[in-house]
Amino acid sequence: MQTLDPDLLKTFLAFVDGGSLAQAASIVGRSPSAVTAQMQRLEDIVGEPLLVSQGRGRGLTLAGEDLVGHARRILAAHREAWLALNGARADGRIAIGTTQDFADSGLPDLLRAFAMSHARVRIELRVGRSAELAQALQSGTLDLAIAMRQASAPDEVGVLREPMIWLCSQKGLVSRQDEVPLALLDPHCGFRDAAIAALDAAGRRYRIAAGSASLAGLRTAVNAGIALTLRTARFAHSGIVEAPRDLGLPSVPAAEFAIRRREGADRPAQDLAALISGSLPLALA
């Protein structure tokens, strides 16, 4: 009997959650051809096709749908075993900083699993903007940080890639005009820069209809229908959905988030960084 390789299952779930092989490639940090080869390898092991042509993309076969639940349970069991073995004797303190994106989606479940297996490790959490977190990491205030990536850094231990998407209220915009109404965080913000750059490159007129220092303010503006915004799928909940295609919004690249670890961080911080790097890309709400 052949065993199911966890790496293949991670890529399979990246396809399931991302909706396409291209999105899966972005999530797991591999080329589309490498992802296709992994899916073919997984199908060879299972002995049945898992993906089927569906319009312009791919969907799941019945065997693929059956595998989804098994894949999630197998990866969860791997994670629990790894955490238990590493956390039995660990103690100390970890200060971790994250952007609001991951504080709302994905990270809470991972921190809970880590805290249960590392009972003697005290976790301190800070939520802030990427620039603030980078400064705190450099000053030694934080042991780990998850922040939007502007350039590679020597303290990176992982990179998360997630598609950026245009988002608006589920009820739609209050009014449609030639100018694209935007809700953006105050400078400096990678999503703000990406939205403006994409619209400028496409020759689309826009106006900043709402500015905010926090994601809570951004969410209020978008939910009200006075503007749309550019984030990842982690922001798409509580009445916020992907903007309709008939708005003709330009395509945008994937967002990159770096998992950064302070030089000289203790073993528990190294374990938590490894857990986040391996599991957070698949931990969409």
What's the pLDDT tens digit per position in 234-258?
898 889 999 999 899 999 988 989 9
Residue 159 backbone dihedrals phi, psi, to 5 degrees: -130, 130
- Evaluate whether 243 touches 249 at the Cβ level (below 8 Å): yes
Average pLDDT for 174-193: 90
pLDDT above 80: residue 1: no
In tens, the pLDDT along 154-163 reads 899 888 888 8
Q: pLDDT tens digits, residue range 225-240?
A: 999 999 998 898 889 9
Instruction: Compute the average pLDDT of residues 122-129.
Output: 91
Confirm if 127 and 98 have CB atoms less than 8 A apart.
yes
Answer whether 0.75 is exceeded by the pTM.
no
Mean pLDDT of 145-154: 88
Looking at residues 47-70, what average pLDDT do you find?
Answer: 88
How much is the pLDDT for 194?
94
Report pLDDT for 167: 97
Question: Confidence band (pLDDT; 50, 70, 90) for 116?
Answer: confident
How far is 257 from 268, CA to CA, in rounded Å? 21
Higher-pLDDT residue of 183 and 100 is 183
Confidence of residue 278 (pLDDT cuts 50, 70, 90): confident
In whole numbers, what is the pLDDT of the chain averaged over residues? 87
pLDDT digits (tens, 9 = 90+) for 166-177: 999 999 999 878
Q: Is the pLDDT of residue 49 over 80?
A: yes
Q: Domains of the chain (ranges plus CATH)?
A: 6-83 (1.10.10.10), 90-161+256-282 (3.40.190.10), 165-252 (3.40.190.10)
Segment 22-51 mean pLDDT: 87
